[in-house]
Chains A and B, each alone.
Chain A
């Protein structure tokens, strides 16, 4: 089974620029998540999709962050404009709707550095 694919692996941008991350979940996984992991902290949920609908985006800074999951498969997360505090690893995860252990499968993440 192929894992969760994310790109790019690394990105360095200047503050006030925009950036986009891409995620391709495991085939058949209806639920997709974007997490933000700041250095020294645990992952924090930004947004959760069920198919192409948003289930929870309560912690997404909507003034600058946006995410979509067209056709219920791939997803993109965008930041515009970026701030220094957005420097983090952005993790995408997916799971089957009826998973035995409710655990997610994470991608390797995109490390964003805002300078």
Chain B
């Protein structure tokens, strides 16, 4: 049972434009969300997080938006750069202290020069 879903397996964006990666979840108990970035032959690396008390969190070019009523979050990358080309995973947990994260299947982002 997939509790975290990333319905777009891939996304292609022109350099300098905005990349929007989407993630949906089904468990209303999820309270804390992470985005990870993964390059080939490497492990995922932590990118940005958001807790349910917020609806937005920014870190440089990366912004995560959370819509709890829709059980939806999105990652915006502005402006997109070729080095952002990677697989992006979203992950969710009922409570950060619980520390068991459920991952989506990932979206492969390709930023074209």
Contacts and interface: CB of A to CB of B under 8 A. Distances in A.
Contact of B101 (A40, A45, A91, A107): A45
Interface in B42-97: 42-46, 49, 89, 91, 93, 96
Contacts, number: 54
Contact of B104 (A42, A45, A103, A105): A42
Contacts of B96: 102
Contact of A42 (B32, B45, B89, B93): B89
Given A42-B4, A42-B106, A103-B49, A93 B43 contact: yes
Interface residues of A, dominant DSSP? loop
A29 interface: no
Given A31-B99, A42-B4, A42-B103, A101 B46 contact: yes
Contacts of A45: 100-101
Contact of B34 (A4, A44, A102, A107): A102
Contact of A40 (B4, B49, B100, B105): B105
B105 A108 contact: no
Interface residues of B, number: 25
Contacts of B29: none
B99 A95 contact: yes
Nearest to B44: A106
A56 interface: yes
Contact of A91 (B43, B46, B93): B43
Interface string B12-51: 0000000000000000000010101000011111100100
Shortest 4 CB-CB contacts between residues of A and residues of B: A106-B43, A42-B103, A103-B46, A102-B96
Given A42-B6, A42-B89, A103-B49, 4 more contacts: A42-B91, A42-B105, A104-B101, A108-B42
Interface of B: 4, 6, 9, 32, 34, 36, 41-46, 49, 89, 91, 93, 96, 99-106
Interface of A: 4, 31, 40-45, 48, 56, 91, 93, 95, 101-109
